[in-house]
């Protein structure tokens, strides 16, 4: 029967081949040649991942040198086909607007019983070993995994999604298209909210919105670095950068208006507009007072938006972004902190919030 199966494949009569392979598997389910030709059927029908799984299982289990040679040739053929299909998909995706621009791709956290399967699928798609993959798939928050051309990231994202690996990606033009407004104060916060805010050109105006328009809320703390003197080798004084404090940020996402309203603890005018504290004035340089008032402002938001999803896993995302300093610093952060040198943390927060915003837009959140 094997000769008949081989002949059917040679003349590309896959219907006859499928019938013969089915009969052979029914007679001898463990026959490695029957399993090999079952893999060939998966391959010719375009089910390349299923074919690869069969081939790799055969490589582990069969001692037959002739079969091993054919299996290895089949794996090489499938990998060549996958590379060709990926290049075609990238070329097609790159023809779309914005997809020749830079972009970013992040992996979402996976926990529980699904994690083992996701790790295995990610390893297969990225051609990585299981140990490396386990380190890459986050178990909390998101991990910034790749920066590159948007067209390539779109194809990679689709492949990962099809393999059950949750991820989110965006091109830099898509991120830049989101309008950013810095809130100076809330003038009203009851049935509707009215804020005094500034756009990216520092023009001041007011904006009113219903609390129900806020689809998501993103919170994060950005480190404030300062140069300090410390004892070094042989008790010699040296300067080094240390984290002295943290700036608190909170973004309110209004997808219907394609905008993000950004709050910053040190720039919010607590002595203006709606009172969020019992204190009549605020000492603007008193970090303890600012922190207290900020917490009360967040409590006000909690009361007005009790069911709005809050994203607060920025820190692990920023820590994973340390390897992407150069592309991140090319992304305008719209974060206004007094720093001696630019920090990728600022761009990382804007990227994190923008990815959450665009993810929600795509999924109708």
Residue pLDDT, tens place only, 178-195: 999 999 999 998 889 999
Cβ-contact 31, 20 below 8 angstroms: no
CATH of the domain at 132: 3.30.1390.10
Contacts of 207 (CB under 8 A, 6+ apart): 181, 194, 195, 197, 261
If you average pLDDT over every residue of the chain, what do you get? 87
> What pLDDT band is residue 245 in, cutting at 50, 70 and 90?
confident
Residues 132, 209 within the same domain? no
Position 363 scores a pLDDT of: 72
Residue 221 domain flag? yes
Residue 351 domain flag? no
> What pLDDT band is residue 281 in, cutting at 50, 70 and 90?
very low
What average pLDDT score do residues 359-365 get? 76
Residues 189, 319 within the same domain? yes
Residues 154, 48 within the same domain? no
Among residues 34, 68, 92, the one where a domain terminates is 92
197, 214, 204: which is closest to 263 by C-alpha? 197
Compute the half-sphere exposure of residue 315: CA atoms within 13 Å on the CB side of its CA. 7
Q: Which helix (H) or strand (E) holds 151?
A: helix 150-162
160, 257, 154: which is closest to 210 by C-alpha? 257
Residue 201 domain flag? yes
Residues 27, 63 within the same domain? yes
Residues 103, 88 within the same domain? no
Dist. CA 34–CA 23, nearest whole Å: 9
Dist. CA 249–CA 265, nearest whole Å: 7
Residues 75, 131 within the same domain? no
Position 277 scores a pLDDT of: 61
CATH of the domain at 26: 1.25.40.10
Print the domain residue range for 297. 179-336+356-362
Number of domains in the chain: 3
What average pLDDT score do residues 133-159 get? 92
Dist. CA 136–CA 164, nearest whole Å: 15
Residues 123, 55 within the same domain? no
Residue 217 domain flag? yes
pLDDT tens string 204-218: 999 999 999 999 999
Residue 28 domain flag? yes
Q: Which residue has the tokens 């059950």?
A: 164
Is 14 strand, coil or helix?
Answer: helix
261, 314, 315, 270: which is closest to 296 by C-alpha? 270
Among residues 43, 67, 92, the one where a domain terminates is 92
Among residues 67, 92, 117, the one where a domain terminates is 92
């Amino acid at each position: 029967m094997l000769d008949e199966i081989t002949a059917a494949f040679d003349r590309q009569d896959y219907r006859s081949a499928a019938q013969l392979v089915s009969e052979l598997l029914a007679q001898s389910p463990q026959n490695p040649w029957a399993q090999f030709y079952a893999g060939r059927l998966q391959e010719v029908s375009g089910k390349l991942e299923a074919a690869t799984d069969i081939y790799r299982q055969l490589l582990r289990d069969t001692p037959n040198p002739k079969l091993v040679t054919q299996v290895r040739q089949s794996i090489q053929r499938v990998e060549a086909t996958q590379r060709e299909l990926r290049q075609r998909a990238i070329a097609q995706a790159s023809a779309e607007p914005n997809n020749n621009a830079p972009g970013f791709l992040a992996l979402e956290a996976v926990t529980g019983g699904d994690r083992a399967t996701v790790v295995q699928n990610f390893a297969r798609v990225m051609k990585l070993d299981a140990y490396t993959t386990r380190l890459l798939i986050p178990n909390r928050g998101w991990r910034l995994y790749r920066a590159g051309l948007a067209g390539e990231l779109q194809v990679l994202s689709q492949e990962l999604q099809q393999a059950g690996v949750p991820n989110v990606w965006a091109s830099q033009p898509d991120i830049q298209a989101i309008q950013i407004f810095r809130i100076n104060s809330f003038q009203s916060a009851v049935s509707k909210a009215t804020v005094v805010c500034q756009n990216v050109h520092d023009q001041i105006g007011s904006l009113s919105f219903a609390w129900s328009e806020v689809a998501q809320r993103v919170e994060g703390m950005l480190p404030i670095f300062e140069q300090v003197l410390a004892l070094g080798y042989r008790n010699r004084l040296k300067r080094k950068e240390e984290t002295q404090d943290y700036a608190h940020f909170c973004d309110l996402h209004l997808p219907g208006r394609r905008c993000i309203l950004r709050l910053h603890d040190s720039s919010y005018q607590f002595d203006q507009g709606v009172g969020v504290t019992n204190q009549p004035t605020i000492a603007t340089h008193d970090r303890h007072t600012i922190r207290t008032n900020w917490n009360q402002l967040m409590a006000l938001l909690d009361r007005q938006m009790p069911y709005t999803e809050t994203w607060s896993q920025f820190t692990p995302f920023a820590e994973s972004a340390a390897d992407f300093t150069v592309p991140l610093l090319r992304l305008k952060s719209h974060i206004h902190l007094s720093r001696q040198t630019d920090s990728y943390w600022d761009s990382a927060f804007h990227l994190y919030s923008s990815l959450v915003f665009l993810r929600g837009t795509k999924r109708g959140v």
